Structure 1
Amino acid sequence: MAAVWQQALALDAKFNAYRTPNNPQFRTLYIRRRSQLLRECAKSGKDPSVRKDHLHIRAQLLNSRYGSPAFSDGGSIRSRSISLRSGGRSGLDNFDKLNLSDSKKHRRNLSSGSLKHIFEGPMKRVFDSIEVVPTDEAEASRAMAGGKTVSENYAFAGMHHIFDQHTAAVTNVKFGHDDKTRLACASLDGTLSICQVIPDPATVICMLRGHSAGVTDFVFSLSNDVILSVSLDATARVWDIAAGKCMRVIEDSMAAELLSCVFHPLNNNMFVTGNSKCFVQVLNISTGKGYKGGSSKVTGKVLALAFDSTGHILWTGDDKGSIHSFTIDVNSGKLIKARRITVCEGLPVTCISARSWISREARDPSLLVNCCVNALCLFKIISEDGALQLKKRFPVKQKRSSIRSTFCPLMSFRQGACVISGSEDMCVYFFDVCKESKPCVNKLLGHSAPVLDVCFNCDESLLASCDEQGMVIIWKREGKQIG
């Protein structure tokens, strides 16, 4: 029952960015209320099959209204993300531009917004019968993206604020999910900080203290009320953000340094850690215990972890230059090793990010990888067990530091798609993955040490970057109103 309501909440959170675009406070209130209601319903003792049916129908309704932001409900990583709503925020502004392989009756049913035909047949069959054709008439799509070029969209230049509350390298910076105001930072000084960046002046809300060694990784829960962190002190900690206190300490079963962590995207009661003894472990956040069959050894220290959006595939990156893919059962937590891909033998893979939809021109599910080979690598995901094919390499300086990168959050409706990475030459780089030549569209100068991590807030009005000296810079986009 708990797994089902967590999946329902994850589904709602996935579409939350599309709700009331001019009222983010309502979106936050909505997702918190949904969390509360789902928790209460999970305790009612109803038949789990009824709630699974509810989850399936709700997925169809949300997909029909907003279009799928990720993989289709069928779970296939080769399936296409479409909109079944004509006009508005759908991103498919002219339904006549869709290439339907089915009959005209299909088109009439879909464009009219009727769900009757969808519920009578498998959702996946409807999705697979549609091919998106980018057109010059996609006015709503261009309006959502601001109608600008990629270079104009990422013309970050001015500094909004500089934080220096940490006394050692800041390893990670992250904004909350669907949040443009709250930023969290993790440092090798053993602390985490929660910062409010809007309104001006930006302030440090609280410091999270408890780890006895450097914090190597952390992640927000879907509802942004909890942070999970891991540390060189061989513990994972669960933090209540509102109270600023540690709720639970989970010790590594091998007493090994913990180097990476990630929540399961559909069930935040399940998380994964990677340690310095080359083990990946799936654990339950409520009990602090591992799942049976949820542990596996890889070729090196586990420096990076990433799930695909369905939670079916887990990738790990290690210090020997390998990426391993696993399939995971969300109910049992069991890991099954699938593939091994060598990025560069003997050189650490320090960051992995997965996206299932980049842009209308670059639509393949993709993996973004930092490796200590002076390059940022973009891979195409080519099978349902996580096999990869290298698409592009972008030049960044990285030979020794744990550099991280990220996809831009607002890609789906733009002519082009951007990725951003830190670098050992103290710069932040913006690359357009759709450009064959001169892909670098912007470079930010301001740090005085290698830049370790970068992240956007949800509307891309602000960019945060952190470095090895503990400085965090908040950059503002030119022409974008903050607040």
Structure 2
Amino acid sequence: MAAGWQQRAFALDARYNAHRAPNHPNFRTLYIRRRCQLLREYTKGEDSLIRKQYLRIRCQLLQQRYGVSCDQSSTYSRSISARSSSRVSESPEAPRFPSEESFLGEQGAVVPTKQAKASRAIVGGTTIAENYAFVGVHHIFDQHTAGVTMLKFANNDRSRLCCASLDGTVSICNVTADPPYVEVVLKGHKKGVTGCDWSVSNDLMVSCSLDSTLRLWDVGSQKCLRVVQDQMGAEMLSCLFQPANNNMVIAGNSQGMVEVLNVSTGIYARGGSSKLGGEVLALACDANGQLLWAGNNKGVVVSFLFDLETGRLSKLRRLTVAENCPITCISWRAWISREARDPTLLINCAANVVCLFRVVDKEGSLQLKRTFAVRHKNYLVRSTFCPIMSFRQGACVVTGSEDSCVYFLDIERDEKPCVNKLQGHACPVLSVSFNYDESLLATSDYQGLVIVWKREKPTTNSAQQNT
């Protein structure tokens, strides 16, 4: 109860933080950090009535002081820039999704059944809600002056977090140091950075930008090793390392091309370019690198066969998720849980939904399993699977949202799938990322703030009650 009250108080301050000293962003960040510290130190032992009275009075005082409502939707209803709005356009009509039942047929459950007692015993009987009780703010980073479009923890690394920002820089943070700090801010792009990715060994990093370039960085020396211009001179909107061959990078641009680049030579692979149409905003590969999915701003997802030797792309399947509603993020996962071994895609669609698809064949064909309502129409919102394969009943995904919240969704629940909601950002949450052991969750927003959340460990009593 105390943790939930602390989070509501923190969220209230975060909503009004943009109005405090508008010409001094450093002061605003310092203020919100101090408020977070005070809430952690002085919220123990108070009864719920005092907490409710405090929240009500503080809300009234802040509203009188700044002359605006505490409603997030009214306070932060400003539109995005012309460039961003053209990239993520609204559909004039509500999208029509295919019936889930028409796709599912008689296939089995996605997650462990209620009879999976042995699997639940491995994790001590903790529920999904207990396991994803991220309530405390571990640290707040404010090194970026514009929206942080993508967050990525390094592979199998608890500490290093990469942040790509529309201010044209990429930063690497150490989140487990005492105190956490920014290791380096990588500068070189002339315009906003739209995507980034770590190599498998974390020694290299790739970033792409609206300045039509892709940059390869050496993480150890913190130097740029190569700059490659887009072969069409178009804005580069997405990028990732080929998981089975880190000498190749896959990129998507604003002219609808999916491109394969050899980063050692700086040459685009012959046959490695394929026209998708629109603007390619999202990319994802399976673990062996043979299947690639790309999504554009027209609501279309296309699967490709990737030739690991030559980098050649061959189109396979095409699916319209929601017409003219941009696909802003695609995540692939081989297993959602121990008993559910179907490969799965998690897709953010700017039609106020997050969609869960099953990969049904070797050509990357998709069948819709679930849709979740999330506020998402105008921004490049991203989501992620929780990284640890679940041994309990239920499986969780996490997504950002334009209502300034972060949602934890149990994909097994038919009703009320939200098992946790984080409130701390004061504007749309763009990206989310777990470290590999799920001890920390990083979230970023349109104003450039990055919040690292820590998980509250379930008590022994609560774990025993749920076994």
Give yes or no for TM over 0.5.
yes
2:200 corresponds to which of 192, 217, 222:
222
1:61 is aligned to none
Q: How does 1:202-221 map to 2 (within 5 A)?
A: 202-221=180-199
Q: 2:354 aligns with which of 372, 376, 386?
A: 376
Q: Residue 153 of structure 1 is aligned with which of 131, 148, 152?
A: 131
Give the unaligned 5+ runs of structure 2. 1-111, 460-467
Q: How much is the aligned-residue C-alpha RMSD, in angstroms?
A: 1.6
- Between the aligned partners of 1:272 and 1:369, the Cα distance in structure 2 is 18
Q: Higher RCO, 1 or 2 (CA under 8 Å, sep at least 6)?
A: 2
SS at match of 1:138: helix
Aligned pairs for 1:188-199 within 5 A: 188-199=166-177
Which residue of structure 2 lines up, in the alignment, with residue 186 of structure 1? 164
TM (norm. structure 1) is 0.70
Answer yes or no: is the 8 Å Cα contact 1:362–1:416 preserved in 2: no
| Aligned-partner residue type, residue 457 of structure 1 | N
- Paired AA for residue 345 in structure 2: L
TM-superposition CA deviations, 1:9-68 (whole Å, max 9, x none)? xxxxxxxxxxxxxxxxxxxxxxxxxxxxxxxxxxxxxxxxxxxxxxxxxxxxxxxxxxxx
Equivalent residue number for residue 243 of structure 2: 265
SS of the residue corresponding to residue 130 of structure 2 reads helix
CA contact (8 A) 1:357 1:412 kept: no
Contact 1:313 1:325 in 2 (8 A): yes
Residue 447 of structure 1 aligns to a residue in which SS? coil
Relative distance call for 1:252 and 1:369 in structure 2 (3 A) is same
1: CA distance between counterparts of 2:113 and 2:416?
26
Report how far residue 361 of structure 1 moved. Answer: 4.2
Q: Pick from 364, 370, 373 the counterpart of residue 395 of structure 1.
A: 373
The corresponding residue for 1:177 is 155
Contact 2:259 2:274 in 1 (8 A): yes
How far did residue 413 of structure 1 move? 2.3
Q: Please name the residue that 2:389 is paired with.
A: 411
Shift of 1:415: 2.1
Structure 2 length-normalised TM:
0.73
Aligned to 1:122: none
Q: Of 388, 396, 411, which aligns to 1:433?
A: 411
| Aligned-partner Cα distance in 1 for 2:252–2:194 | 11
Question: Contact 2:131/2:457 (CA < 8 Å) preserved in 1?
Answer: no
Q: Report the alpha carbon displacement of residue 306 of structure 1 after superposing the two structures with TM.
A: 0.3
**Does residue 458 in structure 1 map to residue 419 in structure 2?**
no
Measured after TM superposition, the shift of residue 479 of structure 1 is 1.9
Note the C-alpha offset of 1:309: 1.3
Q: For residues 308-345 of structure 1, give each alpha carbon's deviation from its aligned partner in whole angstroms, at most 9, with x where no partner exists.
A: 11211100000011001101110111110011100111
Q: Which residue of 2 aligns with 1:92?
A: none
Question: Residues of 1 paired with 2:113 and 2:409: CA distance?
Answer: 24
Q: Give, as a single letter, the amino acid of the residue that structure 2 aligns with 1:293.
A: G
Partner of residue 67, structure 2: none
Give the Cα–Cα distance (whole angstroms) in 2 for the partners of residues 142 and 295 of structure 1.
49
Select which of 80, 97, 118 maps to 1:138. 118
Aligned AA (1:238): L
1:401-420, CA deviations, whole angstroms, 9 ceiling, x for partnerless residues?
00000000012423211000
Instruction: Return 157-166 or 408-417, whichever deviates more.
Output: 408-417
- Give the whole-Å Cα distance in 1 for the aligned partners of 2:225 and 2:115: 51
Q: Give the structure 2 partner of residue 336 of structure 1.
A: 314
Q: Tell me how far 1:364 sits from its aligned partner.
A: 1.6
* 1:267-306 alignment runs, 5 A limit: 267-306=245-284
Q: In the alignment, which residue of structure 1 is the partner of 2:333?
A: 355
